[in-house]
């Protein structure tokens, strides 16, 4: 066997599965890779890779942009996962000092402490790393790398440590793992979901609650069968915090609610009518009584802080659980918005604390019945953890590379100190644009950021009347900005020829930004948006086997049916606007076709979100329903669209 081929195969195996044997899929893939060279070579390769790797140390004083996105504490130390630098910062929890930094990967997405070990997600390699930190030696080691479903974003661990869950965004999967005989995580199930997940929470009976990253779905996964169960849809989106309520029977959820029936005018933003930020209480019993077949929409109201409505849609099942156990608590009042509420904790003595990421604050209440107060912390707090022994809360500030320390002793929580993770270098215009994108202070009174609608550059899937069509009364679906740099003109009508023009309008109208025109961060935001790339299709992210014949037939039909006339070129769009028969409420007839790259990751489709499935989109060849497509053609075109 030529040496080159053997080397290539070893490298490939190393890419996908160093350390431990993970999923059946990966075992299958490895079997394919090695079928020519035999199991002997595999065993040598794997045993060589299973050896400990020590993690290179970095100097925290070197100028860098770290961007800590997650934080945890263990054995007297606090650790942050830094997305920008791929490093882990180590803070001494007694001295409140950054003591070390280690380079663990390219982009880290999350970390948790697991006994004396750390579990860290390397988002760019789709791996869950098991690390061991030794303070005495000042060293960190990688004990294991386990490849999980693509694009992992968050980790949860059950109370007794016997189950680990990892959510993966674009592949819409949750990976369940358990310790193997060597005490390292090994994959038990890979659970497909109908939505792109992020936050996770184990219930006391070891079930797993999974929250939507963009919309408002909450799904209870049965960890025994490894199957997704009932889905509840809260009246909200951008779920960024999940925690157990003090009664143990409900979960607390932080989310935003965009009102699609109103406009982005000064008054409506000022009074919190356009975007609300809330703490929802959802009783776990509601999942038991909800149907598994279709999502159950819960129609919460603020009445008396408790929930009264049940289902507002005829196609959804009713919740028969004790309705009074639902709750909705508003965060923010006129002139004090609370854009982008995020992670939250409830301490044993009933202190609830959550990050208000967009306004650089934490909100806290010292008892469940008291109102929330605010405290300023580092820039864009996204994650927090509590050190119960020291009575301290640590809050990671993503945009100033900081950890704020809050003291829980005393009558009410107080900011003790802000720890720097190291020297931050000067930001590039793109990095400044990213910071602005997540900054709720650019909106009137801090009610929301660009990310509140265009979640992480994608879309929350809702409609909003942002005046993009120059008129009020015809709300439009929030467009995904992933890939937007290449797909001008902008807005559904294609009315804006320059991205900068659209961004200026977004700041002035959508955000009701109160800065002077020359102070608007238009250049920075536009350069940031130009770096965003379309997401992979769900199919590609799952690495599904594709039926190439079906795909080829779909691609041909896409051309024969003239789809290509309007969805052309590498981005599958065009610069013209067309009348496809889908007119809006105000009689606008011509729309600019959105790029079809990553189209499977959006739901719903069309400017008014009228298509809930890709089949709905494909009812006719030109979208106007006048020339219905045969069912077989719909199947072929769907297969093609799902591959893009």
Q: Which residues bind ligand HEC (CB under 6 A)?
A: 264, 448, 450, 452-454, 464, 466, 468-469, 476, 478-479, 481, 484, 487, 490-492, 502-503, 506-507, 510-511, 525, 529, 558, 561-563, 565-567, 578, 580, 582, 591, 593-594, 596, 599, 602, 605-607, 617-618, 621-623, 637, 641
CB of 476 to ligand HEC, least distance (A): 4
CB of 592 to ligand HEC, least distance (A): 6
- Contact in structure between 182 and 572 (CB atoms under 8 Å): no
87 or 480, CB closer to ligand HEC?
480
Positive or negative, the CA dihedral 98, 100, 104, 105 is positive
276 or 561, CB closer to ligand HEC?
561
Task: Calculate the alpha carbon distances from 271 to 26, 334, 554 in Å.
Answer: 52, 5, 49
Identify the residue whose tokens are 């807005």.
491
204 or 266, CB closer to ligand HEC?
266
245 or 468, CB closer to ligand HEC?
468
Task: Calculate the alpha carbon distances from 35 to 15, 42, 615 in Å.
Answer: 17, 10, 40
Measure the CA–CA gap between 313 and 341, rounded to whole angstroms.
27
Measure the CA–CA gap between 31 and 42, rounded to whole angstroms.
9
CB of 582 to ligand HEC, least distance (A): 4
CB of 495 to ligand HEC, least distance (A): 8
How many residues can be counted in the chain?
644
With CB atoms as reference, the residue minimizing the distance to ligand HEC is 468
Task: Calculate the alpha carbon distances from 624 to 581, 603, 613, 633 in Å.
Answer: 5, 19, 16, 16
Rg (CA), the chain: 25
Measure the CA–CA gap between 264 and 284, rounded to whole angstroms.
35
Report CA 36 to chain centroid distance, whole Å. Answer: 40
226 or 488, CB closer to ligand HEC?
488
66 or 622, CB closer to ligand HEC?
622
280 or 607, CB closer to ligand HEC?
607
CB of 579 to ligand HEC, least distance (A): 8
CB of 437 to ligand HEC, least distance (A): 6
20 or 621, CB closer to ligand HEC?
621
Report CA 427 to chain centroid distance, whole Å. Answer: 24
Task: Calculate the alpha carbon distances from 275 to 103, 172, 331 in Å.
Answer: 39, 27, 11
26 or 492, CB closer to ligand HEC?
492
CB of 644 to ligand HEC, least distance (A): 9
Burial group, residue 545, by CB count within 10 angstroms (0-12, 13-18, 19+): exposed
CB of 214 to ligand HEC, least distance (A): 13
- Contact in structure between 600 and 537 (CB atoms under 8 Å): yes
CB of 456 to ligand HEC, least distance (A): 13
Measure the CA–CA gap between 546 and 85, rounded to whole angstroms.
35
């Amino acid at each position: 066997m030529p040496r080159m081929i053997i080397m290539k195969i070893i490298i490939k195996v190393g890419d996908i599965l160093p350390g431990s044997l993970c999923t059946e899929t990966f075992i299958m893939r490895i079997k394919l890779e090695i079928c020519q060279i035999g199991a002997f070579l595999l065993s040598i390769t794997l045993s060589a890779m299973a050896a400990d790797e020590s993690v290179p140390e970095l100097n925290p004083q070197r100028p860098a942009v770290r961007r800590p996105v997650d934080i945890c504490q263990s054995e007297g130390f606090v650790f942050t996962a830094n997305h920008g630098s791929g490093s882990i910062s180590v803070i001494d929890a007694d001295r409140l000092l950054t003591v070390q930094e280690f380079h663990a990967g390219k982009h880290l997405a999350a970390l948790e402490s697991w006994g004396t070990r750390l579990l860290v997600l390397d988002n760019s390699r789709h791996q869950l790393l098991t690390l061991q930190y030794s303070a005495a030696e000042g060293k960190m080691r990688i004990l294991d790398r386990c490849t999980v479903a693509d694009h992992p974003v968050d980790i949860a661990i059950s109370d007794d440590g016997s189950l680990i869950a990892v959510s993966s965004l674009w592949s819409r999967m949750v990976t369940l793992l358990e310790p193997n005989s060597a005490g390292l995580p090994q994959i038990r199930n890979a659970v497909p979901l109908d939505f792109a997940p992020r936050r996770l929470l184990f219930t006391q009976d070891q079930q797993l609650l999974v929250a939507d990253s963009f919309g408002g779905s909450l799904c209870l996964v049965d960890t025994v069968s490894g199957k997704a169960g009932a889905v509840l849809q809260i009246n909200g989106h951008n779920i960024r915090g999940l925690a157990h309520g003090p009664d143990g029977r409900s979960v607390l959820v932080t989310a935003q609610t965009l009102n699609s029936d109103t406009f982005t005018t000064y008054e409506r933003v000022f009074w919190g009518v356009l975007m609300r930020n809330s703490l929802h209480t959802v009783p776990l019993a509601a999942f038991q009584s909800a149907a598994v077949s279709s999502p159950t929409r819960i129609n919460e109201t603020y009445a008396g802080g408790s929930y009264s409505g049940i289902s507002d849609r005829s196609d959804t099942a009713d919740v028969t659980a004790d309705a009074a156990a639902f709750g909705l608590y508003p965060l923010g009042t006129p002139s004090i918005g609370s854009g982008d509420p995020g992670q939250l904790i409830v301490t044993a003595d009933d202190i609830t604390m959550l990050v208000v990421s967009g306004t650089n604050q934490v909100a806290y209440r010292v008892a469940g019945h008291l109102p929330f107060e605010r405290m300023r912390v580092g820039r864009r707090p996204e994650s927090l953890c509590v050190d119960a022994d020291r009575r301290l809360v640590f809050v990671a500030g993503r945009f100033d590379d900081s950890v704020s320390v809050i003291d829980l002793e005393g009558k009410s929580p107080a900011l003790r100190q802000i720890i720097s993770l190291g020297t931050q270098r000067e930001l590039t215009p793109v990095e400044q644009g990213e910071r602005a994108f997540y900054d709720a202070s650019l909106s009137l009174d801090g009610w929301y950021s660009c990310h509140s609608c265009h979640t992480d550059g994608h879309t929350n899937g809702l409609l909003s009347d942002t005046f993009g069509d120059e008129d009020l009364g015809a709300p439009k679906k929030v467009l995904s900005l992933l890939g937007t740099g290449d797909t001008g003109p902008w807005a559904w009508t294609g009315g804006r020829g320059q991205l900068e023009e659209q961004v200026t309008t977004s700041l002035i109208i959508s955000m009701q930004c109160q800065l002077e025109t020359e102070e608007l961060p238009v250049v920075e935001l536009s350069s940031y948006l130009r770096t965003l790339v379309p997401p992979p299709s769900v199919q590609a992210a799952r690495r599904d086997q594709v039926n190439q014949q079906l795909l080829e037939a779909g691609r041909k039909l896409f051309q024969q049916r003239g789809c290509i006339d309007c969805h052309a070129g590498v981005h599958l769009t065009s610069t013209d606007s067309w009348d496809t028969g889908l007119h809006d409420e105000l009689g606008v007839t011509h729309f600019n076709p959105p790029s079809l790259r990553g189209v499977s990751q959006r739901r719903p489709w069309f400017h008014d979100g009228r298509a809930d499935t890709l089949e709905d989109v494909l009812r006719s060849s030109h979208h106007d329903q006048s020339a219905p497509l045969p069912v077989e053609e719909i199947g072929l075109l769907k297969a093609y669209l799902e591959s893009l």
